[in-house]
Structure 1
Amino acid sequence: MARPTTAERGREVRRKLLDTACELIAEHGWTAVSTRMLADRAGVTPGLVHYHFSSVQALLREAATGAMRDYLARAPEEFERAATAQRGLDTLFGDLDRHTGLDPLSLLFTETYLASTRDGALRREIAVLLEEFRGRVGAWLDGHGVAEPDTTAAVLAAAVDGVLLHRALDPGLRGSDIAPVLGRILAPARVAATAEETDRAGDRE
């Protein structure tokens, strides 16, 4: 078997550091992660950390947003296969029941959001990810006749984050219970329009 090339070894070290950074953010919190901690967990020298990344903050930023991008890219795939908007919502929020709010992925999201309040570059990167996620959700909702699909998508995205945050405090809060409640905002555009026309007719009378 051929030995890995220098470039291949470099990519492997970089990947290992990114994976390690995600683990440490969830375990210890964003601000507690240091060069030494990263190097020790990844099994590399501290010098390699700064060889591959300009700073620990740059490493954490790339690791966290990469993990968030992967998750947000997969999430819409589940409900995009649903036959109706409500079934899609049931799938999206039912999937949250796999998370406790204190599991590694939930903690990674929470720590990253918190860090973004003090890091403008991180905040901008997260904003791009959320915009892409909302865009996919909004397009799917629009295809199912949901009124104000873009605004609805923004509300659903915020609700996902809220459920994960609150589940750490209230384990009994289940996405499968919340989905039917949120389903009330998924009224098809034609139904909403009819209701508005009825209200206007009543006003004229």
Structure 2
Amino acid sequence: MSATAAERGREARRRLLGVAAELIAERGWSAVSTRMLADRAGVAPGVVHYHFASVQALLAEAALGVMHALIEQIGAGLEQARTPGEALTLMVGFLEDYDGRDPTSLLFAETYLAAGRDEGLRRSVGATVDEFRRRVAGRLAEQGVAAPEATAAVLAAAVDGIMLHRALGPGPDATELTTVLERLITPVE
């Protein structure tokens, strides 16, 4: 049975989003072109603009999709953490998968840089970061951590910062990082 036009369109859109995420990491945000996207996705260049208002809109949706997927992954783990220490161990353990030069780390770095030049993207990335902070803060509040919103903001910044710094060279190992960050999450007595 052959796919309907709508199914083929959804598949082309899905491929374009995946390719866009790959190319952001490989080439850098500003180097991605319509032709590059179309060639890699195996579609005609006009298909890119049929599905997306612009290359920038496609890149933004692709990058934000990756960011949201990671938030969901961490969020699901946080919900299973019974203590603040377990929540922290999960977050630090999550960092072990990223060396700063992997595609996801590069996508984050490129997206943050692009957000500094694009107000709409800045707002969208900011909302995504706020969503992550709220999820972390909610879990920390349930576990009795003092100033959960401020603590979540610092933990989110630490996770982002460590991920970005890893591209420059090795940083603290998981044990050292956990020891330092545990001071932030000690529950109120």
**TM-score when normalising by structure 1:** 0.89
Matched to 1:100, the amino acid is D
Alignment of 1:1-205 (within 5 A): 2-190=1-189
Distance apart, 1:76 and its partner CA:
2.1
Query: Cα 1:128–1:98, aligned 2, differ >3 Å: closer, same or farther?
Result: same
Q: Is the 8 A contact 2:137 2:148 kept in 1?
A: yes
Question: Displacement of 1:180 after TM fit?
Answer: 1.6
- Secondary structure, aligned partner of 1:3: coil
Separation (CA, whole Å) in 2 of partners of 1:19 and 1:46: 16
Identity of aligned residues (%): 56
Which stretch shifts more, 127-136 or 155-164? 127-136
What amino acid does structure 2 have at the position aligned with 1:178? Answer: L
Deviates more, 1:31-40 or 1:171-180: 171-180
Matches of 1:35 and 1:176 in 2, distance apart? Answer: 44
Distance 2:147 2:10 in 1: 44
Larger Rg: 1
Contact 1:163 1:175 in 2 (8 A): no
C-alpha offsets along residues 134-181 of structure 1, whole Å, 9 cap, x if unaligned?
A: 111101001111000011001100000000011111224334420121
Aligned-pair distance for 1:14?
A: 0.3
Name the CA distance, whole Å, in 2 between partners of 1:50 and 1:82: 43
Q: Which has the higher helix share?
A: 1
Is the contact between residue 101 and residue 166 of structure 1 (CA under 8 Å) also seen in structure 2? yes
Paired residue total: 189
Distance, in Å, in 1 between the alignment partners of 2:136 and 2:166 is 23
Summarize deviations over 1:89-134 as a string: whole Å, max 9, x none. Answer: 0121122111101100000011000000001111111111111111
Q: Within 1, Cα distance between the matches of 2:156 and 2:16? A: 29
Q: How far apart, CA to CA, are the structure 2 residues paired with 1:72 and 1:120?
A: 22
SS of the residue 1:185 aligns to? coil
The corresponding residue for 1:194 is: none
| Matching residue's letter, 1:105 | T
Deviations 1:34-86 (A, max 9, x none): 00110111111111111111110111011111111111121122132122101
| Other-structure match for 1:201 | none
Unpaired segments ≥5 residues, structure 2: none
RMSD across aligned positions (CA) = 1.1
Cα separation, 2, equivalents of 1:67 and 1:95: 15
Show structure 1 runs of 5+ residues with no match. Answer: 191-205
